[in-house]
Structure 1
Amino acid sequence: MKKKLTILLLFIAMHGYAQQRPQYTQYILNNYLLNPALSGIENYTDFKAGYRKQWAGINDAPQTTFAAVHWSLGDKYLWKNPLSLPEKSDDPRSDDYTQNYTASPAHHGVGAIVFYDKAGPLATLNANLTYAYHLQLSGTLNLSVGVAAGVKRVNLNVQDLVLENGNDPALKNTIIAQTKPDLALGVWLYGAQFFAGASVQQILPQRLAFTTDDVYNQGKEVPHAFVTAGYKLFIDDEISFIPSVMVKYVKPAPLSFDANVKVSFKDRFWVGGSYRHKDSYAAMAGFNFSKLVNLTYSYDLTTSELKNFSNGSHEIVLGLQLNNIYQTMRSMRMW
């Protein structure tokens, strides 16, 4: 459908402050994407790379490619904790491990996140470095605080625009690319069988406009707030059941609510599901090839009005657990 550039710029100015960050279905497996306080929470270098195609079947729908890596600093290991060196038979997801759990020592964690998000003529490249400090609150409880800081590059590809008037005067005032600072903060409380956290992305107020025309340059970036919590239950020593929830708020969009569940079988594979209120259902599955490599996939079935045009959303993530000292394949402490 042809659109005047002036209409596009006005839409960005009036509505550009709604959902501005990529949406992920598998964030429950990588909360680090949403909360920098998870930097260095595992006892290995946790690397993940993924691709998401949202609303397949709709031309120019959002597509996101990302890579994230984080690790702890230092070489401290305590018996029966996320940073400990277990015995060969010790499984960091087993019921016995959680019953004998002790909090990790106070330590630092660092990492980096890069993503490229494209929707229609708009493309964003974002790069952040992260830092977290993990404090030992008690014998079985840790609290971490984290920060992510970096830059983003936002581009408007005028060549992707189809105009009714090729000489639209707004085109002369178009800002093709702009670079802005980025900042996020987060906290994370965790123990042997539960986690809870909160984070805010895009804290720094920034104008988001693609023209110097005062009529159309009222767009701005707004903070994205996330609150997440989950708990791990054991059906038996080979099967764990993990429900979790997330609430997201991006003013002036309505409050968003996610409910998730994951069931893990032995040390090989898991299945799960997710529901996003008034938006979608999702099915997820993952397979651990070794203590180094795992692969996960999710499919979202759209339930909003877009269901008449979309074939759903696909997301695939490759995980690498580098320098993994655990002897079992299911070495991720919580999930």
Structure 2
Amino acid sequence: MKSLQNFVLSGILILSCFIGHAQSDPKLTNYIFTPLTFNPAYAGSFEGYSASALYTSQWVGFDGAPETLYLSAHSKIGDSNVGLGLDIVSDKVGATKENRALGNFAYHLRLNRTWRLSSGIKVGYANYAIDYRQLSIENPQEFNPSLGDVSNHSFVFGAGFYLHTEDFFVGLSVPNFLTTQYVDEFRNTLASSTPNLFGNIGFQFELDRDVVLQPTALVRVIEGAPISTLYSLNFHWEEKFYANVNFEYDVSVGGFVGFRISDQFMAGYAYDATMGKYSRFNGGIHSLVLTLRAKERYRRGRCGCYTY
């Protein structure tokens, strides 16, 4: 138990060093379908193989509006305590685009018959590019057309924890510890990113034998900005019909509906309406979700987090 205490303490100290920084990672309202993107400790938390794909088009109605594609998959390795996962992110906003390919490693500890603790690390590669030819140049004579596409590369390193039972979970993570600055050949800063801190918590309870309700919250700490909290109330019936509503104060409100079209596949659609002064100028946020849940190879206790 002493070694376990040292293990947990070391991880908390590492994470706490980065609480004060900010980061530009996109935060989707349907984060429950892509938890691996912000917490590597989720890898292997499902007793079988699990994969998900999520496409989101935000701020519909604006030229160059953000489009994001998430692909993720994870599983335990045999009957060991090791979980592995892969997540790929492609984010496009106007003339800029960012692609990431990230590997996740998690180790799961059984604390007692009820509680489990998993810790994880995320390692990968990111590419940020901007196409100057898509920009509206106020003074074209000052523009150097040879610039064209400007591409920058960086590495990603993150870590996280999950403490959970079959009905409850709490997580803490920093998806990327590294501070990155993207510049062009004239040393102009194109974009920059610094670490941020995610915390999530949730529990589930049965309303009836086949009806489950799961309230959750995702908190993000960013330097120089108010703490943002996204609340989600998730519902599923017989693991065939899924729905949720989510809300972030003065930012967005939305919902999701999904159906299990077979034992392995679930498909769904989400819509989020923007709140605040910009709500009149865009058509909201549309998301399409597809998840694959392969049959379990070894029986393991579920995590109270997400097992779509």
**CA displacement at 1:236 relative to structure 2:** 1.3
Give the distance between the partners of 2:271 and 2:112, measured in 1 at CA. 40
Counterpart of 1:25 (choices 29, 45, 53) is: 29
**CA displacement at 1:32 relative to structure 2:** 1.6
**CA displacement at 1:49 relative to structure 2:** 1.1
Give the distance between the partners of 1:177 and 1:159, measured in 2 at CA. 14
Give the distance between the partners of 1:323 and 1:218, measured in 2 at CA. 45
In the other structure, the counterpart of 2:259 is 287
- The answer to whether the 8 Å contact 2:244/2:255 transfers is yes
**CA displacement at 1:43 relative to structure 2:** 1.3
Larger Rg: 1
- The answer to whether the 8 Å contact 1:175/1:210 transfers is no
- The answer to whether the 8 Å contact 2:103/2:124 transfers is yes
**CA displacement at 1:246 relative to structure 2:** 1.2
In the other structure, the counterpart of 1:84 is none
Normalised to the residue count of structure 1, the TM-score between the two structures is 0.79
Residue 169 to residue 110, structure 1, CA distance change in 2 (3 Å): same
Q: Deviations over 1:264-318 (max 9, x none)?
A: 1223102110001210001111111222111122100110222021110011111
- The answer to whether the 8 Å contact 2:67/2:92 transfers is yes
Q: Does 1:197 align with 2:201?
A: no
Residue 123 to residue 298, structure 1, CA distance change in 2 (3 Å): same
Give the distance between the partners of 1:71 and 1:61, measured in 2 at CA. 34
Give the distance between the partners of 2:292 and 2:99, measured in 1 at CA. 23
- The residue type paired with residue 201 of structure 2 is A
Higher strand share: 2
Give the distance between the partners of 1:237 and 1:272, measured in 2 at CA. 19
- The answer to whether the 8 Å contact 1:196/1:229 transfers is yes
Where do 1:52-67 residues align within 5 Å?
52-67=56-71
- The answer to whether the 8 Å contact 1:170/1:211 transfers is no
Counterpart of 1:239 (choices 211, 214, 239) is: 211
In the other structure, the counterpart of 1:72 is 76
- The answer to whether the 8 Å contact 2:23/2:195 transfers is no
Mean Cα deviation higher: 248-257 or 117-126: 248-257
Give the distance between the partners of 2:303 and 2:227, measured in 1 at CA. 30
- Secondary structure of the corresponding residue to residue 233 of structure 2: strand
- The residue type paired with residue 165 of structure 2 is G
Residue 122 to residue 149, structure 1, CA distance change in 2 (3 Å): same
In the other structure, the counterpart of 2:102 is 128
**CA displacement at 1:44 relative to structure 2:** 1.1
Where do 1:14-163 residues align within 5 Å?
20-75=24-79, 107-163=81-137
- The residue type paired with residue 126 of structure 2 is K
Gaps of 5+ in 2: 1-20
In the other structure, the counterpart of 1:12 is none
Residue 52 to residue 178, structure 1, CA distance change in 2 (3 Å): same
Gaps of 5+ in 1: 1-16, 77-106
- The answer to whether the 8 Å contact 1:222/1:250 transfers is no
In the other structure, the counterpart of 2:232 is 260
Give the distance between the partners of 1:39 and 1:52, measured in 2 at CA. 23
Normalised to the residue count of structure 2, the TM-score between the two structures is 0.85
Size of the aligned set, in residue pairs, is 284
- Secondary structure of the corresponding residue to residue 133 of structure 1: strand
Q: Deviations over 1:117-145 (max 9, x none)?
A: 00011100100011000011111110000
- The residue type paired with residue 48 of structure 1 is S
**CA displacement at 1:37 relative to structure 2:** 0.2
Q: Does 1:221 align with 2:193?
A: yes
**CA displacement at 1:333 relative to structure 2:** 6.2
User: What is the root-mean-square deviation of aligned Cα atoms in Å?
Assistant: 2.3
- Secondary structure of the corresponding residue to residue 308 of structure 1: helix
Q: Does 1:273 align with 2:245?
A: yes
